[in-house]
Structure 1
Amino acid sequence: MGEAEEKLRPSGPELPLSPSPSSSPLRRRDFCLFWTAGAVDGLGTCASSLFLPLILLGAGYSAGLAGLVASVALVSGLVVSPVAGVLADRWPRKPMMYTAALVAAGAMGSLFAAVALGRVVLVHVLLAAVVEQAAGATYAAAASGAIRRLLPPGEYARGIAYLQARDQAVQIVGPTLGGVLYQLARWVPLLADALSFLLVALLSRAIRTDLTPEREGPPASFARDLAEGLRFVCAEPFLRFVVVWTAGINALLGALYYHAVFASHAQGASPSSIGLILTLAGVGGLLGALAAPWLVRRVPAARIVTGASWAMVPTAAGLASASGTWAYGLLLGGVSLIVPSVAVVLQTRAVLITPDRLLARMGTVLGTAGQAVAVLAPVAAGVLVAAYGGRTVALGCAGAFAGLALYATARAGLVVREAP
């Protein structure tokens, strides 16, 4: 990040990050529909995706093949995401959203029928999972450009916090719901997922706001549009900061979560105890998202980013000496409590400084960069815990958090700098 480039950028007044305290964004009809569609989508996906490997195992396939299907499906979503971002900045976004939901409903519906009839075929499961992930990435790309049309600028931060809280709640409730449905019959979570996608399509179709992106002149070639999104993120110092911070946080949080799971298992913790650890972490994230609007209104944006970055260091270091379910859970919950406020600050400013015609591409570039690094977290945590022990891994994560906090402190000025 060149210093000369940064000195040329103005240091005027801050962009309006603070949410308006007057009313809840959920009182706006179209935002409420958008929020609800995401909640339904998340619940349906959580209810089914975690149990696809069990369905394959129950059909006689090996654990290796079941894991391969899950990994290929996740990678397909990452591959499709940048492509979908280009299309979402070209095409009307609302039709993309409900069409993607209908495609996902068809994929999960076919899988439900196969499982209900007892005709589980590996290739079919793989194709259905890939189509569902690709459709989900397409929906997410189109949705990433929606908030600017659904809310006024003064409500961006609160709206993003509501979306964060929704996603955290889904991560807590979804797996439990899926477990209950799976106990009824193996095909029930798949049916619930297919029906949830149909409901998402209906809710998205009911949005009245025009979500069509702005265009400047005729569309360029696909490759040029894709490159334009990448260039915009690379050329904007603040967005470069967001890429580094988000990718680092995603990787470290993933490593800490799996470190806690592996270390707890090594200490003889039961599956229910390990589940409690992850639940406490999810509750921390939910509380952090709910508190984010209040915090953003009262604390300067740069102080939120730097303070939260440094607060993660001792919390992560505490995992090195943790030795029980509640200790692991509360420490992970503490880390999860801190992250949402920073995410709200960064996402709000990213939306404010990005032209409407680039919103989807910006969102998919940031999302893909963060998720691609996080994919390595489970493997890295497992290898490192086995090789060096949980204490060393936790201390290593704390050191990495400290490096990220130093970087955030050095770049804090970018968080308050006026958009070009």
Structure 2
Amino acid sequence: MAGPPASTLEPVTADRPRSVLREVSFLRLWAGSTASGLATWAMPFILGLAVLHSAITPTALGLVLAVRTVGFLIAVPVGGVLADRWSRRSVVLWSSLAAAVATPVLAMSLGRSVALMAVAGAVIGAGQGACRPAFQALTAEVVRPGRRQQANAAMTLAVRVTTLAGPALAALLATVLDVPTLLLGSGVLWLAAALLPPRGKPAPAPAPDGAERPGFTAEFADGVREARRHPWFLGGLVALAAVIATGYSATGVVLPMVSRDRYGTEAVLATAVTAYTAGALFGALLISRWRPRFQGWAALAALACYGFAPLSLWLPGPVALVVVAYAVAGVGIELFNVPWFTAIQREVEPRRLARVSSLDFMVSYGLAPVGLALIAPAVDAFGPGPVLGLCTLVCFLVPAGAALVPTARHFSRGGARSTPEAVA
């Protein structure tokens, strides 16, 4: 029997099932997830405005953002266990409500109590962390298998659009609204994230009378065992962690320096970041329809494209080289993200999906601040050239090594038969 074509771009035909974007249940989920993402992005930007207006000090800003990150990282595994133990919809509801309630507390404590600001920031971070794996698992409940890649692409498109248009909108609103009011607006977004998503599947049946439910550690360890059943997941997670800890962190630290010292203008920084976001938008649009024959290999090759970003900063060249490299990195990151999320939703045992997703978020979000903290001292000690060279090699070589892991070709233990088209 002949194999599938090398790649396909899905045609739109009259007899094809309607797009996931026309399903009310998904649109409610999309709106709730988008609201949570916009609220997550808005908080540090609005607090940055508070520093510019002298409402808080830079030290207070750093403390609040730090405890928010700590709250996020602590809550991610907790949210994963709770979302597998109870209804995924209920975890989204209560975690988002916690962030919604803490946001007015943060607004009222601006300039009055740094300690209260820190507590509110930690609660908001915990709400953000707990809802992430729950949203991932709820997507698998609401969207049918054959449409999940399109659904995940729509989710990430929303994130990129808000990243591109959000700063301009916030700056515009800041001309007529004060900082506390803007924070209250982000609280309204958290309220929308809590109330908009649809119901998924019912919560798992409780343990029989007299039977003890496993503790948190045991349930989380069960999720780790499930992750270990999927070599492609472990290899891909290592590759993603390596790219985030090196390429993403290095470009975040070194790009402003190169923009100022090599090109003599901060416009290079703004243009490169915009090109990255625009590339990511294009990548999400492309992967919503494109189905590579070897999905896992294509995704890992796309992830390796992030190496062009530090490479463009390492090698002297015109501004256009940096801009194009960042656009390619943006395309690549979404050509990886969307199949990655879709494969997790397809391959992982549904009762453990939120816990495995929490491992993904713990590693990817957790290593970002670590990488950012280590890159600056490394640049001071060795100079930007060696650091960028090492980061470039890591971004290219580690995803290539992950492609050699068994089952990585299709991001599936079952081979090509588990592709989304086959499960539609």
Q: Normalising by structure 1, what TM-score?
A: 0.85
- In the alignment, which of 212, 237, 256 is matched to residue 203 of structure 2? 212
CA distance in 2, matches of 1:284, 1:170: 14
8 A Cα contact 1:274 1:325, kept in partner: no
Q: CA-to-partner distance for each residue in 1:185-243, whole Å, 9 max, x for gaps?
A: 22232021011112222212xx1443535788763222211111122223431221122
8 A Cα contact 1:107 1:132, kept in partner: yes
Cα 1:286/1:269, change in 2 over 3 Å: farther
Who is 2:137 aligned against? 145
Who is 1:9 aligned against? none
8 A Cα contact 2:241 2:364, kept in partner: yes
Farther off after superposition, 36-45 or 150-159:
36-45
8 A Cα contact 1:302 1:412, kept in partner: no
CA distance in 1, matches of 2:387, 2:139: 38
- In the alignment, which of 38, 51, 58 is matched to residue 63 of structure 1? 58
Farther off after superposition, 69-78 or 48-57:
48-57
Cα 1:71/1:26, change in 2 over 3 Å: same
Farther off after superposition, 174-183 or 369-378:
174-183
Cα deviation for residue 52 of structure 1 reads 1.7
Count of aligned pairs? 401
Instruction: Describe how 1:18-37 pairs up with structure 2 within 5 A.
Output: 22=16, 23-37=18-32
Structure 1's unaligned 5+ residue stretches are 1-11
Who is 2:418 aligned against? none
8 A Cα contact 1:309 1:408, kept in partner: no
CA distance in 1, matches of 2:274, 2:204: 38
Percent of pairs with identical residues: 22
Cα 1:263/1:282, change in 2 over 3 Å: same
Cα 1:303/1:229, change in 2 over 3 Å: closer
Q: Normalising by structure 2, what TM-score?
A: 0.85
Cα 1:352/1:301, change in 2 over 3 Å: same
CA distance in 2, matches of 1:18, 1:98: 37
8 A Cα contact 2:231 2:405, kept in partner: no
- In the alignment, which of 148, 152, 166 is matched to residue 160 of structure 1? 152
8 A Cα contact 1:37 1:200, kept in partner: yes
Farther off after superposition, 364-373 or 46-55:
46-55
CA distance in 1, matches of 2:380, 2:260: 12
Give SS of 2:196's match. helix
- Aligned residue type for 1:180: L
Give SS of 1:34's match. helix
- Aligned residue type for 1:210: K
CA distance in 2, matches of 1:275, 1:192: 26
8 A Cα contact 1:43 1:173, kept in partner: no
1:189 and 2:215 correspond: no
Who is 1:329 aligned against? 323
Give SS of 1:410's match. coil
CA distance in 2, matches of 1:53, 1:310: 33
- In the alignment, which of 368, 377, 396 is matched to residue 390 of structure 2? 396
Cα 1:157/1:316, change in 2 over 3 Å: same
Instruction: Describe how 1:11-410 pairs up with structure 2 within 5 A.
Output: 22=16, 23-55=18-50, 58-59=53-54, 62-115=57-110, 120-184=112-176, 185-204=178-197, 207-210=198-201, 212-213=203-204, 219-251=213-245, 252-267=247-262, 269-271=264-266, 273-295=268-290, 297-314=291-308, 316-322=310-316, 326-410=320-404
Cα deviation for residue 123 of structure 1 reads 1.0
8 A Cα contact 2:228 2:234, kept in partner: yes
Farther off after superposition, 149-158 or 173-182:
173-182
Cα 1:176/1:60, change in 2 over 3 Å: closer
8 A Cα contact 1:46 1:175, kept in partner: no
Give SS of 2:189's match. helix
CA distance in 1, matches of 2:243, 2:297: 17
Give SS of 2:203's match. coil
Task: State the superposition RMSD in angstroms.
Answer: 2.9
Give SS of 1:288's match. helix
Cα deviation for residue 244 of structure 1 reads 0.6
Cα deviation for residue 58 of structure 1 reads 4.7
CA distance in 1, matches of 2:125, 2:251: 25
Cα 1:224/1:302, change in 2 over 3 Å: closer
Cα deviation for residue 159 of structure 1 reads 1.2
8 A Cα contact 2:259 2:266, kept in partner: no
Farther off after superposition, 17-26 or 219-228:
17-26
Cα 1:270/1:212, change in 2 over 3 Å: farther
Who is 1:5 aligned against? none
Give SS of 1:341's match. helix
